[in-house]
Amino acid sequence: MKDQDLRPVVQNWPYEPGKITVRTITGKDGREKVQMRLDLGLLQMEMDGRPDGLRPESHESLMQYHQERLAKYEERNGTDLGFQLTGDECQALRDETLMYYHRYLSLFVLEDYQRVERDSARNLQVLDLCAKYAEHEWDRLVLEQYRPYIVMMNTRAKTLLAMESSMYKSALAHVEAGLRMIREFFERFNRPEAYEESSEVRVLLELRHDIVQRLPIGTVERLERKLQRALREERYEDAARIRDQIRAIRDDAETEA
């Protein structure tokens, strides 16, 4: 079975330790695929849909299948109380998230930020689904350790998309929202001190600093006017978001000084 030997493929595409090496190719079906080089071979993934190209239970993904199950359960019972995911179902969902992780990591290297946002947001939905409906506590918690990383990747994708369009205030808002989500995560698990030590937070703070350098002069003054208007109109969530943006700009200005 010499035609099944992958050695010629991997020999022509050397593995580089410590580097995420990816490329796109056109498959025999005419569709674009993304490949990731690993030390012992490579992964090939579909660009859209489930990365392995399968349709479990005739759905795009297991997550979508269980979301539909949940929707039908709520329709029948008028509540989600009693809906559960078994240990095997949670394990299958975890296996599926790993596929999407490999894909959004590859797509980030390729600067396909729109698909990175899509896949990372999708994995966050799996975390939420398991956290709320898993039958066993272990299954509810085991994926939570990855939430800060997935939030960081999702935030970077949304932020870089905004920056590509020179929408720097929107980019700043995305970063601040991501930082809040990570802070709330650590507070939820009674580890507020871990926020300051988080590598994900450091990545987002560096990105925030880059955004602030690109903001037009007078941005703070305009944001302060928007803050006062939001407070007068009792739009407190908007006011909190704007206040975070102002604080971020001033913090970075103090750092520069």
Annotate 29-61 with DSSP letters as a single string. TS-EEEEEEETTEEEEEESSSSTT---GGGSS-
36 near 45, Cβ under 8 Å? yes
Confidence bin at 99 (pLDDT 50/70/90): very high
Lowest-confidence region among 60-69, 80-89, 210-219: 210-219
Give pLDDT, residue 234.
Answer: 83
165 to 169, 175, 210, 212: CA distances (angstroms): 11, 16, 15, 15
Confidence bin at 65 (pLDDT 50/70/90): very high
Please give the single-letter amino acid code of residue 32. E
Q: In DSSP terms, which residues pair with 35 in a beta bridge?
A: 23, 44
Mean pLDDT of 32-36: 96
C-alpha 89/C-alpha 217 separation (Å) is 53
Give pLDDT, residue 218.
Answer: 64
Give pLDDT, residue 51.
Answer: 97
Give pLDDT, residue 256.
Answer: 54
* Three-state secondary structure call for residue 111: coil
CB neighbourhood size of 250 (10 A): 12
Give pLDDT, residue 74.
Answer: 98
C-alpha 153/C-alpha 113 separation (Å) is 10
Give pLDDT, residue 2.
Answer: 58
Mean pLDDT of 27-37: 94
pLDDT digits (tens, 9 = 90+) for 3-15: 777 777 788 898 8
Greater pLDDT, 218 or 214 = 214
Mean pLDDT of 73-99: 98
pLDDT digits (tens, 9 = 90+) for 222-238: 777 777 877 888 888 88
Give pLDDT, residue 57.
Answer: 95
Give pLDDT, residue 253.
Answer: 57
Give pLDDT, residue 217.
Answer: 56
Q: Does residue 88 surpass a pLDDT of 90? A: yes
48 near 79, Cβ under 8 Å? no
Residue 85: DSSP 8-state: B
Burial zone of 164 (CB within 10 Å; 0-12 exposed, 13-18 middle, 19+ buried): exposed
Residue 215: DSSP 8-state: S
Q: Does residue 113 surpass a pLDDT of 60? A: yes
In the chain, % of residues over pLDDT 70: 94
144 near 127, Cβ under 8 Å? yes
Give pLDDT, residue 181.
Answer: 96
Q: Does residue 58 surpass a pLDDT of 60? A: yes
Confidence bin at 216 (pLDDT 50/70/90): low
Give pLDDT, residue 237.
Answer: 83
Write out the DSSP string of 167-187.
-HHHHHHHHHHHHHHHHHHHH
The average confidence (pLDDT) of the chain is 91
Give pLDDT, residue 10.
Answer: 81
C-alpha 69/C-alpha 110 separation (Å) is 35
CA 67 from chain centre, in angstroms, equals: 19
* Three-state secondary structure call for residue 112: coil
